[in-house]
Amino acid sequence: MNETDSPRIRVFLNDPAGRGDRLVESSPPEGTEAGPWAFRVEGKAPGPRAYEPDTREFLYWQLSSALDRGKRLWARRIPGPGVWIPGPVLPAVAVAGEDLNAYYDRKALRFFRDVDAKTEQIVQAGESPDVVTHEQGHAILDAIRPDLWDAPHFEVAAFHEAFGDLAAIFVALAEPALADRALKETRGDPAHSNLVSRLAEELGAAVRDRWGADAALPGALRDAVNTFTYTDPKGLPDTAPAQSLSAEPHSFCRVLTGACWDVLVAIFRATAGPDRSAALVRACEQTAALAVAAAETAPSGADFFGRFARRVVRQTRDPALASALADAFFQRGLLASPEVPPELSPDQDPGVAAPPEGEGPSPALVRAIQTRLGPARDGELLLLGTRSAEPGRTGVLRGRRRRDLFLHGAEYGPADGAAVEISDAFALGFTAAGLLAASRVHRAEDRDANDARAFVRFLARRRRIAQIRSTPLDSQQLARAGHSHAIVLEADGVRRLRRAWIARKETS
């Protein structure tokens, strides 16, 4: 069979309501249930043909095509087996019910459909590549950083949303056609709002038509081109009109998404070459590499945004570019100073050796870690994984010690008397010969405990926490009731706050 005989599908490369977007012909994705970051769209696959939007057949191929573009991007960005929390193949449910929403719940990606209250058009969340690759981004971040799922911090919850939006941007700008159109729309300067920076245009319009002009920006649910600057989320209101910042993760995430877009623009400007679309594609690949490396290693905690920003700067090899990126984060208020010191400080402990490849730490190494973390009752050590040493460079072993923080008071709602997990983090640097030479410790302090308490009070005020349930959590039942978290009685007899799902939005 030659190229012209191959069956072709039609898909949107960007959000269906993205200004000027149109259907393009494409080959149907193949082998999606094999290899890294594999997925399966539930239901029988219709024969690959050029279907009309708003049909079941079109939705199947549109959803599959967007997830496949994500699969290919993440296979490049995160080498290795690419296995999700639910297993090697992530299920995706094209129509999970009636709503203007989509969510990931550690079992599947679920997309909803509804009708725009004003235009009476059908709105399929699964038809928007922005929405689909955002949800896939939640699942990717969960796979590489499962400890962030339950972390009781405003900035960690907001980071999950920022990473979802960045995932949508990274997948979009991997398409030279979209990079080209973003540059045409902005006359060559992507510091201006464009079809890629604007996220979930169609869903945003439907949200405004249903809940009013404060519920979403005009023109998109969110826009990565924004001027929001950092402020402690504990000082922000629980909710606010879309034009201003609140502590709610989908609102607060825009500070970090905006800063990462600034990073993308700075890298684009530093990328030479007459083909500017190709330069934007390359700049986006580099931004994605930095964001993933920082997401993999930044320790969980109250000031997660700042820790992420410092990791991005430290990962940047070119000193002039590192300084430009530090300045971008400083302008956003994410760094206290544009000078970012090295992560690790000299710390020799003669005889303490790195664990051999694939093995756990020796008793001597565990003692060395505990000594540096300081005393804690019942803390459990967990390794984040080792970066194997490149020749002549040190390897870094990272991990955390998890501890329970118990909450007491009616203001915690159903979480009164339950615990949340907070973490002490460590990073140990080893010489090429495998000996401990440098270290860094982030011990969870009062600031982290206060942030965790404030975050749970926020969830309680928003009625997000379900009373104790039998396990395993029924995330679909919890989602219908608007409960993103539940108090779970765990095997060790402690009641802990656990997340059940993470959504495109948590309003309504």
C-beta of 280 vs 295, nearer to Zn ion: 295
Q: Name the residue nearer to Zn ion (CB basis): 200 or 236.
A: 200
For the bound state, the minimum distance from the C-beta of residue 138 to Zn ion, rounded and expressed in Å, comes to 6
Q: How far is the CB of 488 from Zn ion (least distance, A)?
A: 22
Residues 452-481 that bind Zn ion (CB under 5 A): none
- Asked if residue 204 binds Zn ion (CB under 5 A), the reply is no
Query: In the window 277-296, what residues touch Zn ion (CB under 5 A)?
Result: none
3-state secondary structure of 71: helix
Q: Which is nearer to Zn ion, 61 or 163 (CB)?
A: 163
Rounded-to-5 percentages of helix, strand, coil across the chain: 40, 20, 40
Q: How many chain residues bind Zn ion (CB under 5 A)? A: 2
- Annotate each residue in 152-171 with x if it binds Zn ion (CB under 5 A) or - if it does not, as one string: ---------x--x-------
Q: Which residue is nearest to Zn ion (CB)?
A: 164
What number of other Cβ atoms are within 10 A of residue 456's Cβ? 26
CB of 221 or CB of 259, closer to Zn ion:
221
> At closest approach, how far in Å is the CB of 245 from Zn ion?
17
Task: Name which of residues 22 to 51 contact Zn ion (CB under 5 A).
Answer: none
User: Which residues on adjacent β-strands are paired with residue 503?
Assistant: 103
Cβ neighbour number for residue 4 with a 10 Å cutoff = 6
Distance of alpha carbon 484 from alpha carbon 507, whole angstroms? 11
What is the closest distance, in whole angstroms, from the C-beta atom of residue 479 to Zn ion in the complex? 13
In the complex with Zn ion, which residue's Cβ is closer, 161 or 201? 161
DSSP state for residue 301 in the 8-state scheme:
S
Q: How far is the CB of 164 from Zn ion (least distance, A)?
A: 4
* Rounded Cα gap, residues 105 and 220, in angstroms: 25
How many helices (H) and strands (E) the chain has is answered by 12, 19
User: Least distance in Å: CB of 221 to Zn ion?
Assistant: 10
In whole angstroms, the minimum distance from the beta carbon of 214 to Zn ion comes to 20
Give whichever of 99 and 161 is closer to Zn ion, judged by the CB atom.
161
Closer CB to Zn ion, 134 or 398, in the complex: 134
For CA atoms 56, 57, 59, 60, give the dihedral sign: positive
Alpha-carbon distances of 388 from 77, 80, 250, 356, 507, rounded to whole Å: 17, 14, 35, 10, 43
Burial of 1 (0-12, 13-18, 19+ CB in 10 A): exposed
Half-sphere exposure of 494 (CA within 13 A, CB side): 14
Binding site for Zn ion (CB under 5 A): 161, 164
